[in-house]
Structure 1
Amino acid sequence: MNGPPVRVNKSFLFEKENFLKLAQLVLGLASLCFAVGCFPNTVFLYCEARLFSGNQLFLACCVNGFFALITLLLTLAHLCSLHDVYYHYNFPMLEKLYTSMATLAYGVGFCVLLISVFTSPFVAQWILIIVFNLATLGSYAYDAYLRWKCEYVL
């Protein structure tokens, strides 16, 4: 392939979609930590880092862990300007589909989380996992909205 070399993108922090991507990464990792360590359950009425149900496993692995890892890889790809090197692949369309899929998965995960909260006794610490998952859902939904409205300069 005759493309430009892999290099560090010096304007990485000056593009607004990268700020949003970093926010998604931080919120996703925080949501993952809370999904593992402080998931609503009926056994312990405090935060305990144990696996209690399939709902917790779904939220931690299938939603938070998977999308935090893929967001990390896409962030590193933007940092190293891999979208210029592999110009044969349509990175903007890939990210449109990725953010839409992440929004849908976080929406389903948030519904699963709310069902787990409503079926167990209420503890104030469980508000944290709700807030972080809702913030992560909002960041992916806003990113998907901007990408489908073509408000990012490509």
Structure 2
Amino acid sequence: MLLTGGALTTAGVAWLSRLDLHTPHVTEVALPMVLIGAGQGLAVAPMTSNGVDGVAPADAGAGAGLVNTVHRIGSALSLSILTAVAATVSTGHQATDIAARSGAALTGSAVLSGAAVQFALAVLAVMALTVPSRAPHTERSL
């Protein structure tokens, strides 16, 4: 579920990054948002439960606190990276209303593309970290 949720979220954000000034709402905004919502719904609960899996019952509160702390720090770091992307792409030239909207669309597209890259990296991390360390042992009868 974690891998599927991450992949759906990545696809939704990548699709949403294609927005422009004349984007139709239903096909280019609503549908990607449905993908993002489904992906987050599938990913958040397994991510949290995997974070506290194997923690002794006496340490469950500390384990959950650590998971939440890492989640908050990761969110802040991700947002700061996307803010740097927006600042780099933004031209700051807003001579006309059209130019301002065009620049905002370009900045939004770059930020959403950056977010899609971050989600794709998260999917790769899930694939790398959740692969079993060894193949399951099967017994053969002779």
Which structure carries more helix by proportion?
A: 2
TM-score interval (norm. to shorter): 0.3 to 0.5
TM-score, normalization by structure 2: 0.39
User: Higher Cα Rg: structure 1 or 2?
Assistant: 2
TM-score, normalization by structure 1: 0.37
